[in-house]
A = this chain, B = another copy of it.
Amino acid sequence: MKIALAQLNYHIANFEGNSKKIINSIQKAKEGGADLVIFSELSVTGYYPNDLLEREEFVEKAEKTIHEIAGHCTGIAALVGGPSINNGQRGKQLHNSAWFLKDGKVSALRHKTLLPTYDIFDEYRHFEPNNEFKLIEYKGEKLAVTICEDIWDEQPAANKFAKEKLYSVSPLEELSKLDPDIIINLSASPFSYNQENQRKNILLKNAKKYHLPIAYVNQTGANTELIFDGGSCFINANGEICTEMSYFKEDFQIIDTDNPPVIKQSKTDVIGKIHQALILGIRDYFFKSNLHDAVLGLSGGIDSALVCALAVEALGSEHVRGILMPSVYSSDHSIADAVQLSKNLNIKYDIIKIQPMVYEFEKQLKPLFKGLALGVAEENIQARTRGVLVMAVSNKFGSILLNTTNKSECAVGYGTLYGDMNGGLAVIADLYKTDVYRLSNYINREKEIIPQNSITKAPSAELRPDQKDTDSLPDYDTLDAILFKYIEQNQSPKEITETGFDEKTVTKISRMVNKNEYKRFQAAPILRISSKAFGFGRKIPIVAKFRY
């Protein structure tokens, strides 16, 4: 059988756009002589529509679109992902389904069995799980159709006391009893750099275990925080890769399932993939919202320099504007470095001194603050004055403010709410500071784009004289190692200390993370590139008393 794998970039609720892409690929598959074309999970709606699924008019439009697509399936069959109404007497009103289309109409429906409800996933909120297992017979072959998580019944442990098997049923076990010829998987599997090879390994393992070929179709593109990396593939019954599709872009391929030649697995380039992921994340945030221009504050530091370089790659230098907002505490090199960056990237930049506004704020507040020492309030006035300025530019020109917070800062609560925490999109808030350095060096791999001085100088918020990040934090290698264990690995401070870190430092850092939930609650959406990003994949109550 000839199968086309269509790896597309979908846009949530953009039924016209999504169906156009799907119909184009059906046409292409037909022209290429394919018997079947496979799309990914919830391809008609985009992943994840969330509570739009509670709106009847949304679900009706999704079904209508699928029926329109079915009209194009003559002389070819297609598997398209979309919601379907639960016809049972009980349960959630929808299934997360694979629609099998042929002869111009809907021919069969298969529903997702395992509904991920952890981290960023929330599928039990809307869907009723499948509980009957049937194959689809087509052109003499028996297809075992699964959706994403269905082939992930063995989950990596979220922590030490997690079960080896997260689900009480294994769809592949059930389906394999029916003697299928091939496993098909429609996926919406987001990128995370620290689970890079895991997905491929699960596919290879399952192909070997059941001695069945697997046609796996993931999607690409970003929908706000979530970035899908593609990498769709075909694996033969020996667990060998025959096709591995592009990462972070659309792709289309037709394979003959009878003994396709085996290829070598692609090598993983983690930092290169993070780079591609963030650019795709920025691009899709803007273009899918019909926005084109970005603005950001440039401090001369590495974080804003990195975000600026990424934005220029994503949007083009004519669509990025830097605002330099020096204060009396800014060092000369801060301005020089930011100017150099702007020149290297060929972007428009403006310099606005914040002192006049800061002076007026302090003057007007003097009667209230009389007799009180200078402190955080005054530091924040500087950060917030900058926030007002960049937002004014954003409002005036319809450009979106990019937030430049990194994950280390975000974790410990460095950063001023309504100041440097402002932004429509937080580009690197899932990237630890040590990775900010790595990615910056990667960006400079061919020529100096980010000024070397921004990379080598000691990090500072420059909100008071001679301030350095290390005044109140350990060095970033230590900080990031502790944070990774605490956040990504859910280790307790006790366990972290036992792996060789100073107890007092670990306790302090853990407390800072806990204490700053209230700030992160109001943070901009964060492009997710790790297995545990701040945002809706990590839900910690604000009013809680969990002290170490």
Which residues in A have some Cβ–Cβ distance to B below 8 Å? 11-14, 17, 46, 48-52, 54-59, 85-86, 88-93, 117-118, 122, 124-125, 158-168, 222-224, 284-285, 288-289, 350, 352-353, 356-357, 359-361, 363-365, 367-369, 372, 375-378, 380-381, 384-385, 387-389, 391-393, 395-396, 417-418, 422, 424, 490, 492, 494, 518, 521-525, 536, 538-546
Contacts and interface: CB of A to CB of B under 8 A. Distances in A.
20 contacts: A12-B541, A12-B545, A12-B546, A14-B545, A54-B158, A55-B159, A55-B490, A92-B163, A124-B124, A223-B541, A224-B541, A288-B545, A352-B365, A356-B364, A359-B360, A375-B395, A376-B395, A385-B388, A388-B388, A525-B542
Interface centre among A56, A58, A375, A387 (most CB of B within 10 A): A56
Contacts of A93: 159, 161-163
Contacts of A518: 424, 525
Nearest to A12: B544
| Assembly stoichiometry (copies) | 2
A166 B90 contact: yes
Given A166-B92, A543-B224, A350 B367 contact: yes
Nearest to A536: B539
A124 B54 CA distance: 18
Given A13-B544, A522-B523, A541-B50, A393 B368 contact: yes
A323 to B, nearest CB: 9
B11 A543 contact: yes
A122 B539 CA distance: 10
A11 B541 CA distance: 11
A391 B365 contact: no
A387 B424 CA distance: 18
Nearest to A493: B57
Contact of A546 (B52, B164, B388): B52
Contact of A161 (B59, B88, B492): B59
Contacts of A162: 93
Contacts of A365: 352, 389, 392-393, 396
Given A124-B124, A361-B389, 16 more contacts: A11-B545, A12-B541, A50-B540, A52-B541, A54-B490, A55-B159, A85-B161, A90-B166, A90-B167, A117-B124, A224-B542, A350-B367, A352-B368, A356-B363, A356-B364, A388-B418
Contacts of A540: 50-52
Give 7 closest A-B pairs by Cβ, nearest first. A13-B546, A377-B395, A57-B492, A14-B545, A12-B544, A377-B396, A90-B165
Interface centre among A51, A55, A418 (most CB of B within 10 A): A418
Contact of A353 (B158, B364, B418): B364
A161 B56 contact: yes
Given A117-B125, A387-B418, A288 B51 contact: no
B539 A285 contact: no
Contacts of A378: 392
A49 B357 contact: no
Nearest to A126: B118
A544 B49 contact: yes
A490 B56 contact: yes
A165 B89 contact: yes
A11 B546 CA distance: 10
Contacts of A545: 11-14, 17, 288
Contacts of A57: 492, 494
Contacts of A58: 546
A86 B541 contact: no
Contact of A117 (B117, B418, B490): B117
A99 to B, nearest CB: 18
A56 B160 contact: yes
A381 B388 contact: yes
